[in-house]
């Protein structure tokens, strides 16, 4: 399964009365450096496009269909399917698995 992985700092969003509302992470502009390129090269759908300028727009379209927007945020309590966030360290590691 092809995966996209990046690290980011989790940020707590507060309510008006200074109580924590939820935790979110920011999504960077995904490029090939975030991708497991071996898995993408051998994938039947992405394999022919991995060395093409069409690869990154394909990723962005598929991520947007899952609810992950570039430059947007992901709430940890409302993660889309296929998205896993590990917050055990200082930086959270976000892993997105594509079908």
Q: What are 8-63's pLDDT values in tens digits?
A: 999 999 999 999 999 999 999 999 999 999 999 999 999 999 999 999 999 999 99
Domain holding 41, by residue range, is 3-97
pLDDT at 99: 81
Report residue 87's pLDDT band, with 50, 70 and 90 as the boundaries.
very high
* pTM recorded for the entire structure: 0.90
Total number of domains in the chain: 1
Cα–Cα distance measured from residue 10 to residue 36, given in angstroms and rounded to the nearest whole number: 23
Beta strands 20-26 and 83-86, pairing class? unpaired
Residue 26 backbone dihedrals phi, psi, to 5 degrees = -90, 145
Tokens of 27: 């999504």
Q: How many Å apart are CA 80 and CA 65, to the nearest integer?
A: 10
73 φ/ψ angles, rounded to the nearest 5 degrees: -130, 160
The residues pairing with 22 across neighbouring beta strands, listed in sequence order, are 13
Structure tokens, 86: 């590990």
- pLDDT band at 75; cut points 50, 70, 90: very high
């Amino acid at each position: 399964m092809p995966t996209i992985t990046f690290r980011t700092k989790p940020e707590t969003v507060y309510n008006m009365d200074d109580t924590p509302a939820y935790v979110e992470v920011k999504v960077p502009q995904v490029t090939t450096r975030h991708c497991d390129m071996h898995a993408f090269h051998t994938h039947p759908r992405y394999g022919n496009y991995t060395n093409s300028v069409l690869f990154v727009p394909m990723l962005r379209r598929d991520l947007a269909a899952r609810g992950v927007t570039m430059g947007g945020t992901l709430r940890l309590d409302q993660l889309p399917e296929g998205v896993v966030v590990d917050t055990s360290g200082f930086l959270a590691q976000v892993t997105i698995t594509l079908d």
